[in-house]
Amino acid sequence: MSEKANITMKDIAREMGVSVATVSRALQDSPRISAEQRERIQAYAREHNFIPNAVAESLRRSRVAPQKIIGVIVPQIAHYYFSTILSGMEEEASARGYSMIVAQSDEQYEREVKICESFLGHRVCGVIVSQAKDTLRYDHFQKLLDNEMPIVFYDRICTGLNTSRVVVDDYQGAFTAVSHLIETGCRRIAFYGSDMHLEISKNRYNGYRDALLKGGLTPEADMRFECDNRAKAEEITPELLQRPDRPDAIFAVNDDTAIGILYTAKRLGLHVPDDLSICGFTNGERAIACDPMLTTVEQRGHRVGIEAVDILLDHVEGRTAPGAVERRVVKTRLITRGTTREVKNEE
């Protein structure tokens, strides 16, 4: 390259082995780039008499620079838990001078990919996402990271990428719930969960299993079912409850599934909780709209939303070191109601 020729940011990026976006941020003293990296790039630019293109810089600022807008991907907006998370996100984002673009994946991988492409085009400052149930490939998320767009996962996290995240304590929530069922005298406890490729499913199943083991009970393969919605619960539960070795309790991965179990048990003439105890996971509005009211694990979605925005803006505003990852866990609590028995006092 001729020393007399005006070099561009693209030239600097190629020589330094970084992206053009990294060069641009380094030349503007952005805190999102490490001090050492900034100094290396700035020194190279000075040495080679780099002169910024004023027209290009004006276009960059007006059309390309990230805005104070957060991109949010939610699997289902109508879902109670996700709606409470969005409420927490909006509250925290607004308080800190940011707005949000919210997009629904509707549990579809293809829609999730298109949303990520749209967020890149809109140059949002960062993305907060709970991945769709059928997402098994993560190239669309990696593309965001390659464009130096920070990502924070919530609820359903992507274990294939080293990114910041905020989750509820799924393991402890399930462990506490199943321990409660055991303490009330239940001995055959079934598990209704989501696909086991999801981290929340693994964590909740592990909490269920470990509670059984601690209670002196053996986890049984035929007491574990892939079922995470009301329709599926109403489809598979009749056969389970008519078995001679039917369970005396069922722990469900969410409230909708638990309510499907409840209404099926009542249609079959079983008395809840004397014949069958039921525990859900969410503590949404439906938990107190059924009869009897549902024992469930409270997820505190509003707090999850606040924490997710806080983590993301720490990345965006440079409070988190470049390349660093932050993980936060929101505690759950068990809310006991009418679908589980009273704890038996030992004489």
Q: What is the pLDDT of residues 151-207, one digit of tens each?
A: 999 999 988 899 999 999 999 999 999 999 999 999 999 999 998 988 999 999 999
Greater model confidence, 13 or 7: 13
Report the C-alpha gap between 72 and 125 in whole angstroms: 11
The reported pLDDT for the residue numbered 51 is 67
Average pLDDT score over residue span 265-288:
96
Give, in order, the Cα–Cα distances in Å from 250 to each of 224, 235, 241.
Answer: 10, 15, 10
The reported pLDDT for the residue numbered 4 is 42
Average pLDDT score over residue span 91-98:
96
The reported pLDDT for the residue numbered 347 is 42
Report the C-alpha gap between 237 and 302 in whole angstroms: 32
β-strand pairing of 189-193 with 164-168? unpaired
Those residues whose C-beta lies under 8 Å from the C-beta of residue 288, and which sit 6 or more positions away, are: 294, 337
Greater model confidence, 301 or 322: 301
Q: What is the pLDDT of residues 108-135, one digit of tens each?
A: 999 999 999 999 988 899 999 999 988 9
Token pair of 117, please?
């492409």
The pTM (predicted TM-score) of the whole model is: 0.76
Give which of 97, 95, 93, 99 is closest to 69, Cα–Cα. Answer: 99
Q: What is the pLDDT of residues 200-242, one digit of tens each?
A: 999 999 999 999 999 999 999 999 999 999 999 999 999 999 9
Report the C-alpha gap between 247 and 213 in whole angstroms: 17
Report the C-alpha gap between 249 and 195 in whole angstroms: 21
Orientation angle between helical segments 9-16 and 20-27, nearest 10 degrees? 110
Give, in order, the Cα–Cα distances in Å from 38 to each of 24, 34, 81, 148, 169.
Answer: 10, 6, 42, 15, 38
Token pair of 194, please?
């989501």
Q: What is the pLDDT of residues 322-338, one digit of tens each?
A: 889 999 999 999 999 99
The reported pLDDT for the residue numbered 53 is 56
Those residues whose C-beta lies under 8 Å from the C-beta of residue 69, and which sit 6 or more positions away, are: 98, 99, 100, 101, 122, 124, 125
The reported pLDDT for the residue numbered 59 is 42
Report the C-alpha gap between 146 and 231 in whole angstroms: 40
Indicate the burial class of 125 (C-beta count within 10 angstroms; 0-12, 13-18, 19 or more): buried
Indicate the pLDDT class of residue 339, thresholds 50, 70 and 90. Answer: very high
Strands (E), the chain: 69-74, 99-104, 126-129, 151-154, 164-168, 189-193, 224-226, 249-252, 277-282, 295-298, 327-330, 333-335
Express as a percent the part of the chain with pLDDT over 90.
70
First to last CA, the chain: 88
Give, in order, the Cα–Cα distances in Å from 198 to each of 48, 76, 195, 255.
Answer: 50, 16, 6, 18
In terms of average pLDDT, the best of 14-18, 54-58, 100-104 is 100-104
pLDDT at 291 over 90: yes
Tokens 């053009």 belong to residue: 20
Indicate the pLDDT class of residue 3, thresholds 50, 70 and 90. Answer: very low
Cα–chain center distance at 311: 13
Express as a percent the part of the chain with pLDDT over 70.
93
Give the mean pLDDT of the chain.
Answer: 90
Q: What is the pLDDT of residues 67-80, one digit of tens each?
A: 899 999 999 988 88
